[in-house]
Homo-oligomer: A and B are copies of this chain.
Amino acid sequence: MRFSQTFIKTLRDAPKDETARGAQYLNRAGYVHKEMAGVYDYLPLGLRVLEKIKKIIREELNAIGGQEVLMSTLQNPAPWQKTDRWDPEKIDVWFKTELSAGGELGLAPTHEEPFTNMMKNYISSYKDLPVYTYQIQTKFRNELRAKSGIMRTREFLMNDMYSFSADESSHDQFYHEVEKAYARIFDRLGIGEDTYQTFASGGVFSKYSHEFQTLTEVGEDTIYYNTDKTVFLNEEVLEDEILEEFNVKRNELASARGAEVGNIFTLKTKYSAPLELNYTNQDGERQPVIMGCYGIGISRVMGVIAEKCADEKGLVWPEAVAPYRFYLIGIGEKGQARAEELYKGHEKEILFDDRDLRPGEKFADAELLGIPYRIVISDKTLNNDAVELTSRSDSETKNLPFSELEQMFS
């Protein structure tokens, strides 16, 4: 992309109520635009980051048999009344609205009910099981307080998957597949090293659920872990009985702030029983389907990466999610002409700063935007038939001959 041809400009100031560092950078660098507290627009570079996250998630979920669908936002009360989740005292983040034709509707904060309900069309026998289905869709949650930029918002992009199994052992098997797939996803997103699977409360139907928590100062949760980092517990499960089960002592646990980037739940028959999603087993008996649900906050992950992967100069995107791999600057007439040449054929990987600005301003924007590699071409580098290549993550600079540079493009 040519910088001169996008409408984006880097801004001197972020919105005043934007306090987290990564959120300030995302606004200033033109990745997002804040509509109001907890509601954001995604501008061209921000949308590219979201698309890269989505692609990684799709690849990993398709690999374990996930089938993608797209469910509606508008929700009929009926199935939510059957599970007793329509009442705002049961789900306190509902946005509700009214139909002109009469009747109340909700904006889905999650999708267990519609998935369970829809599957009654498609699951009737053990031969129809298992089914794993997911979506990438916009969720709405009427949070009292929105904060930390795109980390905790009222409208956000989420990936949610639902599994439908015949019995608990086949459910457990898939649940473990998801654990591994999520670990691969966070690894590929560049936050695997700091993301831990924690034990969280499981609700009525199972002892534990699991969260994937990324350690970061701006996280909302507190995570407790033992010295060899084999046990990670959420604050809510920090009870004597549970500590005993994991053979850890409270005073031996260290704590850190974490941001929840994913969670996985065993639902058993919590939704299938009240919504009557049953199947006929091999003995001809009707039984409720065993379910699980699994979620990754896509825009939240982008926010978490922006907080974690940043320094005093700006964002530092991991390569897998960076909107472009290279930020290209040509200096002087010859440098600019050679940059034009290099750009051609590599438009998808290069953000070419062809604006009529001083090099210093371009260098500052390259750092603010956090593109992994900066390529500078000038008279000096051309004398060596080379470019100056600077890595954003470690600031290391080297002269790289054009022939070797070419091998870096995919």
Q: Mark A121-153, 1 if CB is under 8 A from B, else 0.
A: 111000010010100001010111100000000
Q: Are A47 and B73 in contact (CB under 8 A)?
A: no
Which residues on the B side are within 8 Å of A36 (C-beta)?
74, 76
A119 interface hit (Cβ, 8 Å): yes
Binds B, one of A38-46, A221-229, A250-258: A38-46
User: How far apart sit A347 and B74, CA to CA, in the bound complex (Å)?
Assistant: 34
Asked if A41 contacts B140 (CB within 8 A), the reply is: no
Would B65 and A5 count as touching, CB distance under 8 A? yes
- Residues 17-44 of A at the B interface (beta carbon under 8 Å): 30, 33, 35-37, 39-44
Tell me whether A67 is interfacial, beta carbon within 8 Å: yes
In the complex, whether A114 has a CB less than 8 A from a CB of chain B is yes
CA distance A80 to B236 in the complex (A): 43
Of A94-102, A170-178, A203-211, A329-337, the stretch lying at the interface with chain B is: A94-102
Q: Which of A30, A65, A99 has the most CB of B within 10 A?
A: A99
CB <8 Å contact, A122 and B71 = no
Give which listed residue, B35, B70, B93, B97, contacts A96 with CB less than 8 A.
B97
A114 to B43 CA separation, bound complex (whole angstroms): 13
User: Is A7 a contact partner of B67 (Cβ separation < 8 A)?
Assistant: yes
Residues of B within 8 A of A5 (CB): 65
Given contacts A44-B69, A69-B42, A142-B99, contact A122 B35 (CB under 8 A): no
Asked, given contacts A76-B36, A138-B138, whether A144 binds B67 with beta carbons under 8 Å apart, the answer is no
What is the bound-complex CA distance between A363 and B95, given in angstroms? 46
Interface residue A72 (Cβ < 8 Å from any Cβ of B) = yes
Q: Which residues from chain B contact A41 at a C-beta distance below 8 Å?
A: 69-72, 114, 118
Report the minimum CB–CB distance from A269 to chain B (whole Å).
19
The complex places the Cα of A67 from the Cα of B30 at a distance, in Å, of 13
For the complex, give the distance between the alpha carbons of A144 and B40 in Å.
30
Contacting pair A100 B144 (CB below 8 A) = yes
Knowing A74-B155, A114-B41, A145-B101 touch, does A133 contact B35 (C-beta < 8 A)? no
Chain B residues whose CB sits within 8 angstroms of the CB of A30 once the complex forms: 122
A interface secondary structure, majority = mixed
A103 and chain B: residue at smallest CB distance: B36
When distances are taken between beta carbons in the complex, the residues of chain B under 8 Å from A114 are: 35, 41
Which residues on the B side are within 8 Å of A354 (C-beta)? Answer: none
Assess the B118–A33 pair: CB atoms within 8 A: yes
**Contact in complex: A155, B73 (CB < 8 Å):** yes
Cβ of A143: which chain B residues have Cβ within 8 Å of it? 100
Residues of B within 8 A of A107 (CB): 97, 107
Interface string of A43-55 (1 = CB under 8 A from B): 1101100100000
B142 touches A100 (CB 8 A): yes
* Bound-complex Cα distance A138 to B100 (A): 19
By a CB distance below 8 angstroms, the chain B residues around A92 are 100
In the complex, A362→B50 CA distance in Å? Answer: 39
Complex: A33 Cα to B121 Cα, angstroms: 9
**What's the nearest-Cβ distance from chain B to residue A275, in Å?**
14
What B residues does A39 contact at CB under 8 A? 72, 74, 76
* A-B pairs with lowest CB-CB distance, top 3: A42-B70, A7-B131, A100-B142
A residues whose Cβ falls under 8 Å from a Cβ of B: 5-9, 11, 30, 33, 35-37, 39-44, 46-47, 50, 65, 67-76, 92-93, 95-101, 105, 107, 114, 118-119, 121-123, 128, 131, 133, 138, 140, 142-145, 154-155
Could you list 7 examples of A-B contacts with CB < 8 Å?
A9-B121, A35-B114, A41-B118, A44-B68, A74-B140, A97-B107, A100-B143
